[in-house]
Structures are given as structure tokens and as C-alpha cells.
Amino acid sequence: MKTNVYNLLGKSIKEIEVPEYFRQNYRPDLIKRAVVASQSNSYQPKAPSPYSNRLNTAEYRGARKKNTMDNSINTGKARLPRTKNRRILMAGRVAGVAHAVGGPKAHPPKVTKILIKKINTKERTKAILSAISATANLGLVSTRGHVVPQEISLPIVFENSLENLTKTKEVYDVLESLGLSDNVEKAKDNKSYRAGKGKMRGRRYKRRKSVLFVLGDSKNYKVFQNLEGVDVIDASKLSIKELAPGTHAGRLTIFSENAVEKLQERFSKVM
């Protein structure tokens, strides 16, 4: 199986043999597990203070043979802890229990809860290989919503001069030469204003993913990331969350020749 190598003008200059990692089996179950495990690393434990809504004098005394002041049975009131804010115990308001006004939560979140989901190293590697092979499957790429002209061969590989671009306009022209610029425009048009309080927490807009650039050297990453929905990553750091956002594999991905060689070195021992 071979694929074309394109220059910056969008013309095929040669053919190369597709590496073995592009011919792996598609495993959506492993991909989903790996993505969820990766996302769980960003979860942050949260819980209310153990003293929350409990800093009061509320007390319950279930005694029968005691003084009137200490007696809380057969008084015509609920047998619940009450604050000592008026001379006798039963004159106070109920506090310190979940169903009281201003009381603590019954079963609040706890910091001891295990949030991180684990996955075996071999399974994670297998998921990454499966997601990389999905980028060479036209059916999966199209199903994910990307626009790919029929005459383009997948995977899409560019010559190494792609890594030396210094202007965002040049990157856009490269995409336009292959008819892939519609993916950026689609992501730009689908950018929407988020509903709810997320707007106040640094998530003002909902943004779509478009093209992923995998390079051998991603030092000029800002040149690529200025385009809507575009991500760029070094081949040595390629992970499942870039290849399958939202657990859905088949993202439109562009590789440089250096990146193809780096990935071959990285996965040569596990295939």
C-alpha cells in the first residue's frame, strides 16, 4: 500500500510505502477507553469543608428523667438537635442535620473518591495505533464530518518544508491547494456561544475541531494554531486525545515526512 507525498503547491511529487502502523485494526472500544482515561487526568477533587454548616451549638438529648431544661422528649416538638440560643434547649432552631434549613449536605462529594481511570500501557499504545490507522480510512474521516476530495490519497503526507512555514496565510494556502480549507471554514462557521454559567468560567465559546498537523518538529506551532479548530503536535508527543477528540476516531490529519519516520521509530518495537 502506497500514498502520495505532496509539496506546498498541492501537487504529488513522489510515492512512499505506507508504514505498518497505518494498517492496524480499528478498535473503537479501546480508543474510547484510552480517551476517557486521558481526560480523567484533568479532573480535580472537590468537596465541602467537613465543618460546613456544623459550626453551631445544636445538640439533641434523648433523656426522659432529667430536668425540664434538658428534657427533649414529650415536649410536642420534633426530636432533633437544636441550638442553645435561648435559655432552654427546646427553644432553639433545628440545625446540624441535612433536612434542616441551612444544614449540611446529606451525601456531598468527597475528596477520597477515585477520579483517575487507569488503562494498561499496551492497551493505550494499541489505541493510539488504531486511531492513527483511522486517519487513513476515508469512510471514518468522512463520517466524522470532514470534507476530503476523492482524488486525495490517505494518509495525507507533505514534504518536510511544511514544518518551515512562518505565516498562517501560507498554511491556509497549503490547505486550499488540496481542497481542505473548507474544514477550517466549517469549524469557523460552527463556533457558537455557550449557554449557562460556563461562560463565566473560561468556556465562553463552543469550538469545533478541524485539521490536525503531526510534524517532526512543531516549533512553529502558533503559525498553525491561528486557524480555527486546527491543532499541531510533535510526532514524539502524539497522543489519543488529539487523534480522537470526544472518543471519535477518524480526524483529518496531515503528516510531514519527518513525522512519518519518527512514528515508525516510536512504534517499531510494538508492532
pLDDT score at 191: 94
Between 21 and 63, the more confident residue is 21
How many whole angstroms separate alpha carbon 64 and alpha carbon 72?
Answer: 8
Last residue of a domain, one of 89, 114, 139: 114
Q: What is the CATH number of the domain that holds 167?
A: 3.40.1370.10
Tell me if 30 is assigned to some domain: no
Structure confidence by residue, pLDDT tens digits, 192-226: 999 999 999 999 999 999 999 999 998 899 999 99
pLDDT tens digits, residue range 123-148?
A: 999 999 999 999 999 999 999 999 99
Q: Are 146 and 99 in a shared domain?
A: no
pLDDT at position 250 is 96
Question: Residue 32 pLDDT > 80, yes or no?
Answer: yes
**What pLDDT does residue 69 have?**
66
Residues 56 and 178 in one domain: no
pLDDT given at position 149: 93
Residues 223 and 146 in one domain: yes
Looking at the fold, whether 108 and 133 belong to one and the same domain comes out as no
Residue where a domain terminates, one of 72, 97, 114: 114
Q: Give the pLDDT confidence score for residue 59 in this predicted structure.
A: 84
Write down the pLDDT at residue 79.
Answer: 85
Q: What is the Cα–Cα distance from 177 to 9, expressed in whole angstroms?
A: 6
Residue 127 is part of which domain span? Answer: 2-23+119-267
Average pLDDT of span 115-130: 96
Structurally, the chain folds into a number of domains equal to 2
Q: What is the mean pLDDT of the chain?
A: 92
What is the predicted pLDDT for the residue at 86?
Answer: 61
Domain boundary among 98, 114, 130: 114
29 inside domain: no
Say if 98 falls within a structural domain: yes
Instruction: Please tell me whether residues 159 and 193 are part of one structural domain.
Output: yes
Query: Do 182 and 94 fall into the same domain?
Result: no
Q: 181 in a domain, yes or no?
A: yes
Residue 37 lies in a domain: no
Q: Is residue 227 a part of any domain in this protein? A: yes
pLDDT for 42-89, tens place per residue? 999 999 999 999 998 888 877 677 666 667 777 778 888 888 866 665
108 and 149 fall within a common domain: no
